[in-house]
Structure 1
């Protein structure tokens, strides 16, 4: 009834809104404690937003029927909007409300609600400012107006409720119902309304007959703007309350289903003269303290409200308002989360602690609407900061294995001489790709012992391996960045080769379409290192037959290719080696011919490396390597690299399989 007055509507519309939507939500919603009905935020928006279309009161001070119709129509439109969002699966928007933000908002909202109900205990009205500190100053300045018998009653009720809350044996007793009954009896017997106590007074009886809401013929633009804002704010407040109790009771809520539930609740409610409903802090706290464990609690509450509307409203005539205020104050006191900021401080989670504090004080200073919006903004900023800050690891090899780990994490890991392996541990996208490029170039300069940009490389870096096993997707900006990294590494150290390792299937498909990057893709990090070593050995093998100028004849190239042929399932096509080009071949020309012979595909090149490695070691025979072999090795290495830290037995088993394959 109080929230209906805040919305500039007759009190009976608050009772309507607290019944029908509550029943529908109980059938469709996923929160077990959330009580749906009129709430302060939406009520304020109804008062301010719809007043721009039609005044709430007529000249004689009575309620304006046009304003009431607008409020009912806004419930229908809000329901349609929320239902559409739910069917489109847009409930993920609530994922941007982190727990510290929700905790900060609910803690501040508990203070605001408590102060709002304190006026009933004090016996005089308080400032309606959104600034909580202004309300507190106004309250203290006017303490002389307080009705001390009301204060005594309110404090007594709060003490009574606290005893029932703290004593385990009394927790299941419906203490709120007891104080309401006792309060009504005392007020009726002592005629407290004659002694300065504020009571509820006359409440109209009867359940409304269903009637279709009437949409206005003018002002639809303003009405739609109001519906958009009130729907989202009401939903976000409801989700904040729902998440609070879901976390406390160890269950999950479905944001998309919540949107559907609120949408249908408001649509059905509009046919029974309800204005927009949402999940309220105060009633949800009372509901939870009463022992609500399932959605049936809401359905039963809604049905009881209909019974009250039908026949029992005269019984509440003598209900003292200090009793109602005290019940809500005790109920919302449990929402004050004093543990969360200290917990975040102990964890040194400074970003989340800042988000908690900013949301808490913004809600106290600017009201629930802006406070929740600021909290939402804090969550978005924190998310962007985390995803745009590159997370990477420089890997080293576990001696005697094919395993590679972060050099900063495992003491047993050693760097691979002349090799720099960098693993990126998150998806690459336009917001973090520049940071990744800067990090890679920084590590390259460290490996080359370059103190400044103008220094010449003093160290040796034969190969840079970018391990992309932690990257699930990349966009066009990140692909451009990868090309930029390759170009800049070559400009810093022309002798350094670059390879992309551990590329997953989805990323591989995208990279394969980029000619400038496709040739740099390789299998797992270990296979790429073996490949680099084999290429060096091939060059040594080549040098044995080369003349003083470092070249061999085309006939010598054919002989070497035939020598490698016995290690491959492919036959050498001499026409491929004899066609075009000069008679004397450099190593790079010879190497390109071999790549042309075995194919440009990664598995064929990997097979070539294995064959060269075998030939250099003067092995006479080796079983043919099928095309699937290197891919299996890659998959096993990726599994090993992802499982590594604690699974010693699994690692040993996989390495054994690799050794058997070799």
Structure 2
């Protein structure tokens, strides 16, 4: 019978009282808990149910695919429109120079960065679930695309006029080929993201832990920074990709440092100083400024004017953006013959693109109290990349810097992103030619300054050192591997290492012995809390891990080490003592039948008690009382030796395995636990399980765990139930408890 009361006086502390019988699984499953009756559905019924169409299902499917329909009809024009307009203009002004700059990272002409800042943004407005992120070009993704484009279309493939003269490259043919590679790669990335989204694989982002992503993006910032040095100094070097590309690029720049174009360096350095100052002012006075100062567009306009007025290209050989075609390109089918070489790169870019987008989307969703759907985000990004690739774009994702501007300037919905894309469209169709004199060093300056946010992630190192050494190791491995091996191989190494850390943690769980807090049903680590004390003769083992093929042996070893009870060792010691006693008895031929009876009585008592007594004299007295009711007057040497080899194997009579942290157990783990129960039973130590969840119990039944000597009466819902049961069973033995 269970009785629960609580003190209801508001001034007094709540009191929790429970009076009930000790529950085991056999009682719970037969008397207290009854599963609901469910009629199993056939495969045809399940398919029919999923395919059944209704107005509610159709509406839900449409709203899921087009999230804009869920908020646009109730769009509060008076409250949101002005903020979205200001935010859209501010973000668009920032998106223009970044689109031009990141196209350089992608190894394609600048105008393709503008295309990538228009088409995908429009599509995301309709299919995306985040209201605040700014979709478009991003430095890390652009650099990964550029590495693939350079690898597939190196300069050596395009000699000028068909000659083999070193250094002469047909730039137009090379750029056209690299655009084809970038477009096909974008198509493949879009297909992969669509496929994962349809299969509801939005959870894949969780495998890219935050330390991994931050270490990877910091390494990407190093790659991006190094790749822009040649534009800042105005030197001519080839573009490297693959392992050690950062070192090769640095060496190449330093080899050509004597040929630095001073005019290019001055323009770039002045732009860096100005942009850094503007960013600092925006950060310091962001609460007082109605909108951030658009430093990037100011730099672009001023430097374009200066370049045109001073003829920097003609007079000082300063490299400029060059021809920007007017208008939009007609849709074309990508060159699918290139697909076979790009699959691995596409998978890496697809995962990184999605992980960056969803992580930023979740930050804003949490801040403003709405939800984002990871699967729909995959579909949205997949559609943006796949559909836009037919209009000559490259892979996009969300940009942290632009998203922060879009949010801080009052943006409430993706209307702001749509307005930003319209501003980009205006430049493409009307005034793009005005940016043709823009020096490339200015774009390099914009990229370098925008990397500051990613470089600040180095501050994670001391923070992680204080909180988690394993996460710090993940961060460092992701950073070092990505810097030295390249972004593609570095990402694979980082993911592989992160998975190894998970295996390491399951292989080395924290194992402790629990003790009871006096006068409570609470049990805590005896090494950590002074109040926790062990129950006499009972060991409560806790390991914070599930039990499966990879760690089942470790679990058993930790159990034996922590409890101090190793059945194999104890049985070996007893066998050695028995052998020694038999040898002594063989030498003494005068052993009589009474000693044999005493030995049998002692052995019988040992089996009945479960664990023999520690005090040998007390054990001998129990035997004499049971056999003839008299205590012998004297003990012979032989009898003393017989009792000696039957001395207690250990003072522990019960072991409780706390299964509260165990989420699952495979067949290997189940066999290991079953073997442990039998092994301890051989030395008369009872093993019981506590805190098993219902799913785990169902799995154990499926694996036929409860068969033979193992039954459900060793399963208890709580540790306290198990301890009370063990104490009760011990008290029923015909001898005093062992202390």
The Cα of 1:458 is off from its aligned counterpart by 5.3
Partner-residue secondary structure (3-state), 2:655: strand
CA offsets 1:2-44 (integer angstroms, 9 cap, x no match): 6657767555444323321233234434564454247121233
Q: Does 1:42 align with 2:142?
A: no
Query: 1:421 matched to which residue of 2?
Result: 540
The Cα of 1:473 is off from its aligned counterpart by 2.3
The whole-number CA distance in structure 2 between the counterparts of 1:8 and 1:539 is 83
Query: 2:253 matched to which residue of 1?
Result: 139
The whole-number CA distance in structure 2 between the counterparts of 1:487 and 1:50 is 67
8 Å Cα contact 1:363-1:372 kept in structure 2: yes
Query: 1:22 matched to which residue of 2?
Result: 121
Query: 2:447 matched to which residue of 1?
Result: 328
In 2 relative to 1, CA 527–2 (structure 1 residues): closer, same or farther, beyond 3 Å? Answer: closer
1:390 pairs with 509, 514, 526, which one? Answer: 509
Q: Does 1:351 align with 2:545?
A: no
The whole-number CA distance in structure 1 between the counterparts of 2:497 and 2:149 is 27
Query: 2:27 matched to which residue of 1?
Result: none
The whole-number CA distance in structure 2 between the counterparts of 1:50 and 1:192 is 30
1:409-448 to 2 correspondences below 5 Å: 409-444=528-563, 446=564
In 2 relative to 1, CA 192–253 (structure 1 residues): closer, same or farther, beyond 3 Å? Answer: farther
CA offsets 1:515-559 (integer angstroms, 9 cap, x no match): 33434323433223333333344454xx9xxxxxxxxxxxxxxxx
CA offsets 1:234-275 (integer angstroms, 9 cap, x no match): 43155247637966997586543332122100222133233x
The whole-number CA distance in structure 1 between the counterparts of 2:224 and 2:190 is 26
Query: 2:226 matched to which residue of 1?
Result: 115
The whole-number CA distance in structure 2 between the counterparts of 1:157 and 1:413 is 65
Q: Which moved more, 1:226-235 or 1:96-105?
A: 226-235
Q: Does 1:466 align with 2:585?
A: no
Q: Does 1:526 align with 2:642?
A: no
Partner-residue secondary structure (3-state), 2:663: coil
The Cα of 1:116 is off from its aligned counterpart by 1.8
The whole-number CA distance in structure 2 between the counterparts of 1:533 and 1:86 is 55
1:239-278 to 2 correspondences below 5 Å: 239-240=355-356, 243=359, 254-274=373-393, 276-278=394-396
1:85-124 to 2 correspondences below 5 Å: 85-124=196-235
The Cα of 1:480 is off from its aligned counterpart by 0.9
Q: Which moved more, 1:137-146 or 1:232-241?
A: 232-241
Q: Does 1:177 align with 2:177?
A: no
Partner-residue secondary structure (3-state), 1:465: strand
The Cα of 1:91 is off from its aligned counterpart by 2.6
Partner-residue secondary structure (3-state), 1:119: helix
The whole-number CA distance in structure 1 between the counterparts of 2:312 and 2:347 is 41
The whole-number CA distance in structure 2 between the counterparts of 1:239 and 1:523 is 40
Kindly tell me the number of residue pairs found equivalent between the two proteins: 528
The Cα of 1:215 is off from its aligned counterpart by 6.4
The Cα of 1:300 is off from its aligned counterpart by 3.1
The whole-number CA distance in structure 1 between the counterparts of 2:364 and 2:216 is 16
In 2 relative to 1, CA 225–137 (structure 1 residues): closer, same or farther, beyond 3 Å? Answer: closer
In 2 relative to 1, CA 150–453 (structure 1 residues): closer, same or farther, beyond 3 Å? Answer: farther
The whole-number CA distance in structure 2 between the counterparts of 1:8 and 1:150 is 20
1:588-599 to 2 correspondences below 5 Å: none
The whole-number CA distance in structure 1 between the counterparts of 2:320 and 2:126 is 34
1:279-318 to 2 correspondences below 5 Å: 279=397, 284-285=400-401, 288=404, 291=408, 295-318=414-437
Partner-residue secondary structure (3-state), 2:454: coil
The Cα of 1:311 is off from its aligned counterpart by 0.9
**TM norm structure 2:** 0.64
The Cα of 1:325 is off from its aligned counterpart by 1.2
Q: Does 1:163 align with 2:277?
A: yes
8 Å Cα contact 2:101-2:443 kept in structure 1: no
8 Å Cα contact 2:507-2:550 kept in structure 1: yes
The whole-number CA distance in structure 2 between the counterparts of 1:324 and 1:153 is 11
Q: Does 1:505 align with 2:700?
A: no
Partner-residue secondary structure (3-state), 1:401: coil
The whole-number CA distance in structure 2 between the counterparts of 1:4 and 1:56 is 20
The whole-number CA distance in structure 1 between the counterparts of 2:733 and 2:504 is 47
Please report the RMSD computed on the Cα atoms of aligned residues, expressed in angstroms. Answer: 3.5
8 Å Cα contact 2:108-2:179 kept in structure 1: yes
8 Å Cα contact 1:57-1:63 kept in structure 2: no
Q: Which moved more, 1:328-337 or 1:240-249?
A: 240-249
In 2 relative to 1, CA 70–42 (structure 1 residues): closer, same or farther, beyond 3 Å? Answer: closer
The Cα of 1:376 is off from its aligned counterpart by 1.5
Q: Does 1:151 align with 2:265?
A: yes
Query: 2:320 matched to which residue of 1?
Result: 199
The Cα of 1:331 is off from its aligned counterpart by 0.8
Query: 1:408 matched to which residue of 2?
Result: 527
**TM norm structure 1:** 0.71
CA offsets 1:487-528 (integer angstroms, 9 cap, x no match): 33234xx22111112222112223344233434323433223
CA offsets 1:80-125 (integer angstroms, 9 cap, x no match): 2211101212232221222222221122211221222222221113
If asked which structure has higher relative contact order (CA below 8 Å, sep 6+), I would say 2
The whole-number CA distance in structure 2 between the counterparts of 1:365 and 1:395 is 47
